[in-house]
Amino acid sequence: MLGLDPDVAALWPGVVERSPLAGQITPSLSVGMAVVDHCGALIDAVAPACVAVKPQLACFERLGGEGWNALRAVAKHAHACGLLVIADGKRGDISVTAQAYAQALFASAETPFGPIEGLGVDLATVNPLMGRDSVEPFVTAARAAGAGVLALVRTSNPGAADIEDLLLAEGGTVWERLAVLVDELGREGVGESGLSDVGAVVGATAPEHLARARELMPNAVLLIPGVGAQGGQVEDLAPAFAPGRAGGLVSASRSIANAWMASGGDPAACARAEAERLRAAAWALS
Amino acid sequence: MLGLDPDVAALWPGVVERSPLAGQITPSLSVGMAVVDHCGALIDAVAPACVAVKPQLACFERLGGEGWNALRAVAKHAHACGLLVIADGKRGDISVTAQAYAQALFASAETPFGPIEGLGVDLATVNPLMGRDSVEPFVTAARAAGAGVLALVRTSNPGAADIEDLLLAEGGTVWERLAVLVDELGREGVGESGLSDVGAVVGATAPEHLARARELMPNAVLLIPGVGAQGGQVEDLAPAFAPGRAGGLVSASRSIANAWMASGGDPAACARAEAERLRAAAWALS
């Protein structure tokens, strides 16, 4: 899966130069268009070698309203290329606020002036710290839209040890308790494939946790960040694919988008080659 | 403090009707302008009785790029009225992604076309589930901008019992561990007032936790949601104000914005009266 974390200081060569209206429109509109151009070219290059794109919402919202509109355009383009879109925003909140986030992600907002279309994504990451009622509204909205959610369970960063790995008095860790919550929320959403519409984020940098995560969440799609720039190895991820190839979604972002920087070759060809290498490594496990 | 959670189905009377360009511009631009109008009127009515506004980011981002631009306009208006702006987005992520969120909140994003201004908020809520390295980038960016962060510690929803209240093998609860993290991250940011630039969210619906939260975080500003629509009572919040009036930020949203619905009076006058009632109740404790 292709992570889309556009860094406006590292757009592909030519994107800035070919921006036809630069200087005639506002910086925010110029950069919005350049980001759509960059992400579009990246998607076109990599689409045949992946099943999904994972835009990092932070990278778009720092560009303001035009960044948000760019995100919508990028999501539409990915869908047109036959890819799933996974919004990585790690939202978490309750009640009407969670419903508002879910409208932005999966549905639309009704207004007196007409509906405002949301992003229409297929999956979205959520943060379950606030408990069941901070995840359920996302699950409900996703299910109604034929989409799904991926809850943070055991992330790929060193700080995961601070809270997620804490040992509980009842036994097990915080992250294992989160895994149980994911399994419970997902039971009603298990489809014919045996996979549920409630999945989990389990980092590639702690592969020893993957087998336990799969045991606690037998039906969950596992989104596995941390391959590539963060140091995780695809070869360690076999447990994720126990229910089949669709059971694991391996994400890489900078190692694909910036592959050309090391070799100096054509950005699109380098991105495609790196994506194909990762796909072959992941599918060799399944 | 005034929560800004604009519900486009419950804008103040007249806002939709007086939208001068409705029908001539896109629904998304119309609703963006109406939300700025509604929030602006609410801020003007309540400003003398509060110190801050707390926009709920979800309610703006569900309106797309124009919603995000509306949020920026509302933040500017609140600043012009002398109020602090607290972005309630509960973001949490690591590394360059956390830095991107922080650019959107506190600073600006440098691009080849020029800088894109962020929201320039004074405080932002963050979700610390992923641990220290998911909060530190926000603290660093906020500190550089003269702003601060408020980490979720013990929230006001029933689901807080699911994860935050879990008992740890080492003693104490998950939320108490989060409180210790907040205290540690905030030590370098304690100002002359005795308050730190790293604060915490502690819900009003579990006031028994407030005294313990204050003990663990003696220098933290405590943001206290859950008063009003969620059932919390201002009168229970005394421990928050132990370091002085600025030690506690009591938030109410719907109970202020929708006060007119119960009485049928002028929305602005009803909102002002309810905000003044809450302020008097909170300051009687300090």
Mean pLDDT of chain B: 93
Instruction: For chain B, give the percent of residues with pLDDT over 90.
Output: 78
* Residues in chain A within 8 Å Cβ distance of B114: 27
Query: Both tokens of residue B151?
Result: 């980490």
Active site residue A90: yes
pLDDT digits (tens, 9 = 90+) for B152-188: 999 999 999 999 999 999 999 999 999 999 999 999 9
pLDDT tens digit at each of 286 positions of chain A: 999 999 998 999 989 888 867 778 888 999 999 999 999 999 999 999 999 999 999 999 999 999 999 999 999 999 999 999 999 999 999 999 999 999 999 999 999 999 999 999 999 999 999 999 999 999 999 999 999 999 999 999 999 999 999 999 999 999 999 999 999 999 999 999 999 999 999 988 777 899 999 999 999 999 998 777 677 788 888 888 888 888 999 888 988 999 999 888 999 999 999 999 989 988 888 6
Question: Is there a contact between B93 and B101 (Cβ–Cβ < 8 Å)?
Answer: yes
pLDDT band at B246 (very low <50, low <70, confident <90, very high): confident
Please check the confidence at residue B140 and state whether its pLDDT lies above 90: yes
Q: Which residue is closest to B136 within chain A, CA to CA? A: A159
pLDDT digits (tens, 9 = 90+) for B188-241: 999 999 999 999 999 887 778 999 999 999 999 999 987 776 777 888 888 888
Q: Which pLDDT does position B71 carry in this prediction?
A: 98
Give the nearest partner residue to B169 out of A72, A169, A178, using CB atoms: A169
ipTM above 0.85, yes or no: yes
pLDDT digits (tens, 9 = 90+) for B44-96: 999 999 999 999 999 999 999 999 999 999 999 999 999 999 999 999 999 99
Q: Which pLDDT does position A233 carry in this prediction?
A: 80
* CB-based contacts of A67, cutoff 8 Å, min separation 6: A28, A31, A32, A35, A59, A60, A61, B65, B68, B116
- Cβ <8 Å between B97 and A27: no
Instruction: Give this prediction's pTM.
Output: 0.97
- Cβ <8 Å between B164 and A97: no
Q: Is A131 on the interface with B (CB under 8 A)?
A: yes
Q: Is A160 on the interface with B (CB under 8 A)?
A: yes
Which residue of the set B90, B154, B209, B272 is catalytic?
B90
Angstroms from B116 CA to nearest CA on chain A = 6
Q: What whole-number distance in Å separates Cα of residue A269 and Cα of residue A250?
A: 20
Per-residue HEC secondary structure of chain B comes to: CEEECCCCCCCCCCCCCCCCCECCECHHHHHHHHHHHHHHHHHHHHHHHCCEEEEEHHHHHCCHHHHHHHHHHHHHHHHHCCCEEEEEEEECCCHHHHHHHHHHHHCEECCCCCCEECCCCCEEEECCCCCHHHCHHHHHHHHHCCCEEEEEEECCCHHHHCCCCCEECCCCEHHHHHHHHHHHHHHHHCCCCCCCCEEEEECCCCCHHHHHHHHHCCCCCEEECCECCCCECHHHCHHHHCCCHHHEEECECHHHHCHHHHHCCCHHHHHHHHHHHHHHHHHCCC
